[in-house]
Structure 1
């Protein structure tokens, strides 16, 4: 029997690609097509190791929102940004300290203490993707810059530090860290679709031969996996249909509503491998995410700028030679704290550059940023103390005209200051309406 490797199983993920959002094509965005409005998008950007709490946050002043030093790169976008103080996940303080129990930023559920059978809970981005992902070629894109590490610490597996997006309670969503592969998930000339279909055919054939050798439990797991493979097959077939529409082989009719201004890739296909410079790596991944939203390849994304516990370095920052995690444990040393602050500000600067490009993308009555909700957060506030009793949370974008920017929300005294309340608010705006999510039962008013 042909070897059934994990590599072959994973190569079929994220294979479907298609047109930009077009009202005249009823296959995608049916609800948006009826109204002629641009669709809403959601992205969560994560940075590990917390922030310098002394220079993070915002307050309302006489002239509107006033940013602390770390958020000053957002000044040009201040009317499109909301800063939250006090939000947290209460489950992060119920057990052991350290980093791993805090890696539930998008589920709010307790991280299982284990070195094998991981469990965090299905995350809000993947719940949204399960609904709105049917309207786009790629249900969601999960980006990062660093591989997972494989170690154990205090009864936890280090796998937790590498993922914020979980497609099931026990399965992290595959994260793409290579720019070229991320690009290829979104833009394809047709050859990749044929290759993916061939891989899927082999996977299904090999799976048939395996079934007789599996236990009952493993057979159930195989059935679950094959269901996901069949979903991928359907996406490949849909992509082929879209390709025919693009080439004029089939006719589609409909109204002439909003269409994206960006209809072809504005960046070239990245080279293979990982960029040597962390700054270059981050910028190209931001550009790919921007393009994915501009062309409506997907409406849901997560991007881990770095893993938790990461020692990513930024050589371009003068005098900063240590990695992020090392700097976060500054122990009050003024030099290391100053370097940590430089890293914080630089990461926010990169995020702000991405937001400004979104704001410059016209989508009719609003910009791409106005139609989106882009969250920046971490699993810790104070990395030095591993403190998660409140988290750094910044929200950019207008959610299609449903969110007012230029606001600083101080929830530190609110007895119901759960981060999952914000998730409920964002999920609702993306069309996912549930009575409860994580540990929250009502949405935050924003």
Structure 2
């Protein structure tokens, strides 16, 4: 089984989600389903029509933000770089907006049930990313050597806030007898380390997987016999109904989860 290729560009991720390709990329994806939306709207309840309107509004908002980002990046592009292509050849220059767009696309994918599995690598401690919008002038990697300093804490807080914004968006999306968040498991891992060692990895998990996971707890596995990350993932897969005898280097699920 081959891994799914990583996608760094919001526009391409959006196109992939809605199969918006070729000469259709200049259109709104909603233009392609206008007749179907009108047909469905005439047959469903008022509540379902409101949900359809909520979803299509979210789709259009993401499209408009992508368009604004591409326009601004095109204006900033040097004339020597050649003809502008959609999407941008490089990573968008505004990190905070780039991340929020990617998170919103993940939320749209979950809401539309296009997929319920998504991985988003936000950053890592070896990253050369800088954060001028946080008032920081040195790169991420240098700050990570002083992992308990104020600068690294500011970076960590920024990423946790992005995680929180995704949770809030998913929690606002009604789905069945709950919300999309209620039926999901959203995990944030932070490779907080010292001296190039990672004996402890703080994790946040939100969403109850439709009651399969108990939330509102703090669990400490520092001295537990079974504390592998692969054990955690094996347990989450089991709660999702994917039964596997082993995963990675683990055959044992994480206790108490």
Which interval holds the TM-score relative to the shorter structure?
Answer: 0.7 to 0.9
What secondary structure does 2:212 align onto? coil
Aligned to 2:196, which of 369, 372, 386? 386
Which of 328, 350, 354 is 2:144 aligned to? 328
Match of 1:355? Answer: 167
Counterpart in 1 of 2:9? Answer: 178
2: distance between equivalents of 1:419 and 1:188?
A: 34
| Change over 3 Å in CA distance of 1:188–1:173 after alignment to 2 | closer
Q: Is the 8 A contact 2:206 2:215 kept in 1?
A: yes
Greater helix fraction, Structure 1 or Structure 2: 2
Aligned match of 2:96 in 255, 273, 279? 279
CA displacement at 1:442 relative to structure 2: 2.3
CA shift for structure 1 position 189: 5.0
Distance 1:308 1:338 in 2: 15
Residue 311, structure 1, aligned to residue 128, structure 2:
yes
How has the CA–CA distance of structure 1 residues 295 and 339 changed in structure 2, closer, same or farther, with 3 Å as cutoff?
A: same
Q: Over residues 118-172 of structure 1, what are the superposed CA-to-partner deviations in whole Å (9 max), with x where a residue is unaligned?
A: xxxxxxxxxxxxxxxxxxxxxxxxxxxxxxxxxxxxxxxxxxxxxxxxx54xxx5
On the 8 A contact 1:360/1:367 being kept in 2, the answer is yes
Deviation at 1:308, TM superposition (A): 5.1
Query: What number of residue pairs does the alignment pair up?
Result: 212
1:415 paired residue number: 225
Question: 1:267 maps to which residue?
Answer: 61
- SS of corresponding position for 1:376: strand
8 Å CA contact 2:128–2:139 kept in 1: the answer is yes
If the length of structure 1 is used for normalisation, what is the TM-score?
0.44
- Using structure 2 for the length normalisation, give the TM-score: 0.73
* Cα distance in 1 between the residues matched to 2:147 and 2:184: 38
Contact residue 171 and residue 182 of structure 2 kept, 8 A: yes
Higher relative contact order (CA 8 A, sep 6+): 1
Paired position in structure 1 for 2:157: 345
- Secondary structure class of the residue paired with 1:322: coil
Asked if structure 2 preserves the Cα contact closer than 8 Å seen for 1:266 and 1:291, the reply is no
Any conservation in 2 of the 1:312–1:324 contact (CA below 8 Å)? yes
